[in-house]
Amino acid sequence: MQTSTLVQALNSLITSEPTSIPDNDKAKLFEACSKVAAKFQSPDKELVDMYFGPLKAIALRLAIDMRIFDFSVGKTKVSLEELSRETGCEDLFIKRVLRIIISMGLFKEVDKDVFETTPAAKAYMTDAPMAQIIIHLTETAPVAASLPSYFAQKGYTSPAVSTDCPFQYAMQTPLHNFAWIAADPKRQRAFNTMMTIRIKRSVDSKWFEVFPVSRIIDAEKTAHDGKGENGENEGKDVFLVDIGGGIGHQTIDFKTHFPGVKGRCVVQDIAPVISTITDLPTGIEAQVHDFLTPQPIYAAKIYFLAHVLHDWPDKEAGEILGHVRDAMGPESVVLLSETLMPERDASFVAAAMDLTMMAAYASLERTETQFRELLESIGFEVVEVWREKDTESGTSMLGQAVIEARLRRD
């Protein structure tokens, strides 16, 4: 294909409606374009992008803190003088921040010192999820910047202690990352929001669409049928324990899709997280629980952990699984909803996430092999690794998997 034809085809994609392209194709196009850009980008341009790239998030955070998006979105036009008056901030400073915001396509300067927002700007109003994610990102940005000095002092080996890793070094705190977040309501809110947002990948499946949970639901329904007169014992057993479940979004999704499931669903997390839950649908309970302590619910049908173990090094991950193991009954299963690190040819996002986990928690993104070794060392056997339909082992795309395990039957 001639270069001009290829460029024309790509430009036609730019003008097409995003909704006309399936999400799976969007992800593949993005990865292919990223590889093309990396191949043809000059070293000078790459250095410029790396040097100045972090300032995009910083400029967004400054604009969020000054409430520039809040004052501008919904207005036809807004002047620099108005923004200065409304925010109480210096006009020159606002203009310097806005230059970067404009370059990102969120504002337009329609006249000298007169601006209007683009539709994308709404995503960065104070209460919007994207704004909260930017807050979390910029609060923890010093951790990544500290990695060269940390490893120069400590030696070039992966940290293994979650309270003595680059996070504590950078933030100058003895607290675990989660405890540091919990100490500030603003940080906790931003973190909770980030955990609620589902990152779009090649296939955006929910865990119960990847794992055939209906087989357990049907078996449980059969077991409940005929129990006592009028079914008085129905629903008293625990069907699902969502361990480290945050504000319950995973369980709410599950209950919405399976409203007739027999048995209770319980969302567990630490007190600062549970206290932020304002309402839960009927059939879902919230329980304060630290998963590094013994599991209080015995013989549930499913013990579910979504993206929990990637926050913990092997020692603590083993403790978490050990408490689950000790609470399980003969028919219980444990389901781990995780993003598996490819055994080879990992994408930049997958590799970057792994380094992020190392820096923040002394943890890692595990491969299927590493998960199997971890589970088997605790006394589990892996029944099946269920993957999204378009996700294959060894590919560079991020993809969700649900690892099904049970107590080892010797």
CA–CA separation, 327 vs 297, rounded Å?
7
Q: Check whether 200 has a pLDDT greater than 60.
A: no
pLDDT at 170: 98
CA–CA separation, 166 vs 360, rounded Å?
7
How high does pLDDT run on average in the chain?
Answer: 89
CA–CA separation, 410 vs 408, rounded Å?
6
pLDDT at 85: 97
pLDDT at 174: 97
Which tokens is 374 given? 């971890």
Delineate the domains of the chain, giving CATH numbers in brackets: 40-126 (1.10.10.10), 136-196 (no CATH), 207-407 (3.40.50.150)
Burial class from Cβ neighbours inside 10 Å (0-12, 13-18, 19+) for residue 225 reads exposed
Task: Mark 309-340 as b/e (b = at least 16 C-beta within 10 Å).
Answer: bbbbbbebbbebbbbbbebbeeebbbbbbbbb
Q: Residue 89: which of 115, 65, 108 has the closest Cα?
A: 65
Q: pLDDT per residue over 253-266, tens digit each?
A: 999 999 989 899 99
Rg (CA), the chain: 24
Q: Check whether 192 has a pLDDT greater than 70.
A: yes
Active-site positions read: 310
pTM of the model: 0.80
Residue 5: pLDDT band by 50, 70, 90 thresholds? confident
| Strand pairing class (114-117; 264-269) | unpaired
